[in-house]
C-alpha cells in the first residue's frame, strides 16, 4: 500500500493532473482567480498547470456537448493537438459527458495518438471506446461506480474485447468528502489489497477525480462564521485527493491551484518518509 516504508518504499511517485476546460462557461470564478488570468486559452492554462507542478493535464471538452456549444469533433481534436504542442506532459481527455457526441469526439481525438489517455469506458459504451483506443494506440480509463466487483468486471470486459490490460487505467469513482469518502476509501483500498494478493485483473493503475469536491455544498457555500470559502474549498478538494492517494490512487485530478499545491507538497513529504 502507498507510503508504507516499513513494508516497501514507494517507488512510483503519484501523479497530479490539472483540470483544463475548453470553455469557461459555468467554471467557478473562485477557481479562475487562482490562476491569475493565465487561463485565456487551454494551451496557456495547461502551461500554467505545468508551472504549478502538475504531472499531467486533464482536458475536458465541454463545448462539444450538442446541447451546449455543439463544437464539432474535428475542432476538439485540433484543440487536443494544440495542447499537446504546448506542454510535454500526458493529456487525459474527456468529452462533454454526452454519450452520443463523446463517441465521435473520442474517435477524432484518437488520431492525435501520443501522450493521450481517452476517458472514459463504462459498461454501456466500452466497446466503442475500446475499439477507438486500440485503433489509435491510446490508453483508456475504465470507469466503474464505487464497487470493487464492477471495477474488476470492467477490466474483464475490456480484455475480453481485446484490450491489453497494460493500457487500462481504473477510475472506481472517488466521492467527495462528506458525500461518501469513507466508502470510496474502502473500495480503493480493497482494490489495491486484492491486486497485491494476486488478482491480475485489478493490477492496473488507479485514477481518482477530486474535482467533484467543488460541488459539495459545505465546501464552497458562503455565510457568517464559515470562513473564507476559497480556502475551505481548497482544503476540501485537497483532503479528497489525499484520501484517494493514501487508499491507492496513482493519479488524482485537481481543479484548484491552491489544492494542487497542498497535494504536491504532501506527496513530496510522504515520498521522503516512504
Q: CA 249 to CA 232: how far, in whole Å?
A: 23
Is residue 10 included in any domain, yes or no? no
Q: CA 171 to CA 185: how far, in whole Å?
A: 13
Q: CA 95 to CA 106: how far, in whole Å?
A: 7
Q: CA 270 to CA 274: how far, in whole Å?
A: 6
CATH of the domain at 158: 3.20.20.20
In angstroms and rounded to an integer, the radius of gyration of the C-alpha atoms of the chain is: 18
Question: Three-state DSSP class for 251?
Answer: strand
Tens digit of pLDDT per residue, the chain (274 long)?
888 877 666 678 999 999 999 999 989 999 999 999 999 999 999 999 999 999 999 999 999 999 989 999 999 999 999 999 999 999 999 999 998 899 999 999 987 767 899 999 999 889 999 999 999 899 999 999 999 999 999 999 999 999 999 999 999 999 887 768 999 999 999 999 999 999 999 999 999 999 999 998 888 888 888 899 999 999 999 999 999 999 999 999 999 999 999 999 999 999 886 5
Q: What is the pTM of this model?
A: 0.96
Is residue 3 included in any domain, yes or no? no
Count of structural domains within the chain: 1
Is residue 2 included in any domain, yes or no? no
What pLDDT is recorded for position 272? 80
Q: CA 76 to CA 71: how far, in whole Å?
A: 7
Neighbours of 211 (CB within 10 A): 21
Name, in order, each residue with C-beta under 8 angstroms of 81's C-beta and a sequence gap of 6 or more. 112
Helices first, then strands: H and E counts in the chain: 10, 8
Query: CA–CA distance from 163 to each of 37, 63, 202 (Å)?
Result: 41, 29, 14
Neighbours of 24 (CB within 10 A): 14
Is residue 9 included in any domain, yes or no? no
What pLDDT is recorded for position 113? 62
What pLDDT is recorded for position 99? 86
Is residue 52 included in any domain, yes or no? yes
Residue 119's domain spans which residues?
15-273
Is residue 73 included in any domain, yes or no? yes
Is residue 5 included in any domain, yes or no? no
Is residue 114 included in any domain, yes or no? yes
Q: CA 93 to CA 139: how far, in whole Å?
A: 11
What pLDDT is recorded for position 12? 85
Amino acid at each position: 500500500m502507498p507510503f508504507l516504508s516499513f513494508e516497501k518504499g514507494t517507488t512510483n511517485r503519484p501523479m497530479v493532473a490539472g483540470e483544463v476546460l475548453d470553455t469557461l462557461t459555468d467554471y467557478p470564478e473562485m477557481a479562475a482567480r487562482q490562476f491569475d488570468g493565465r487561463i485565456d486559452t487551454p494551451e496557456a492554462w495547461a502551461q500554467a498547470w505545468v508551472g504549478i507542478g502538475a504531472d499531467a493535464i486533464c482536458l475536458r471538452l465541454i463545448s462539444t456537448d450538442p446541447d451546449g456549444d455543439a463544437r464539432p469533433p474535428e475542432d476538439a481534436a485540433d484543440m487536443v493537438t494544440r495542447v499537446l504542442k504546448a506542454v510535454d506532459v500526458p493529456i487525459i481527455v474527456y468529452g462533454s459527458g454526452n454519450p452520443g457526441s463523446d463517441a465521435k469526439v473520442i474517435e477524432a481525438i484518437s488520431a492525435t495518438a501520443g501522450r493521450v489517455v481517452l476517458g472514459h469506458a463504462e459498461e454501456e459504451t466500452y466497446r466503442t471506446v475500446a475499439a477507438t483506443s486500440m485503433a489509435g494506440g491510446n490508453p483508456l480509463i475504465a470507469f466503474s461506480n464505487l464497487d470493487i466487483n464492477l471495477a474488476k468486471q470492467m477490466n474483464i470486459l475490456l480484455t475480453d474485447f481485446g484490450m491489453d490490460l497494460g493500457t487500462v487505467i481504473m477510475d472506481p469513482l472517488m466521492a467527495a468528502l462528506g458525500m461518501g469518502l469513507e466508502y470510496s476509501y474502502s473500495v480503493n483500498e480493497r482494490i489495491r489489497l486484492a491486486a497485491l494478493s494476486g488478482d491480475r485483473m485489478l493490477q492496473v493503475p488507479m485514477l481518482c477525480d477530486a474535482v467533484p469536491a467543488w460541488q459539495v455544498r459545505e465546501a464552497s457555500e458562503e455565510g457568517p462564521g464559515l470562513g473564507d470559502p476559497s480556502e475551505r474549498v481548497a482544503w476540501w478538494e485537497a483532503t479528497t485527493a489525499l484520501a484517494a492517494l493514501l487508499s491507492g490512487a496513482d493519479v488524482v485530478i485537481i481543479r484548484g491551484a491552491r489544492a494542487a499545491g497542498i497535494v504536491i507538497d504532501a506527496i513530496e513529504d510522504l515520498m521522503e518518509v516512504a
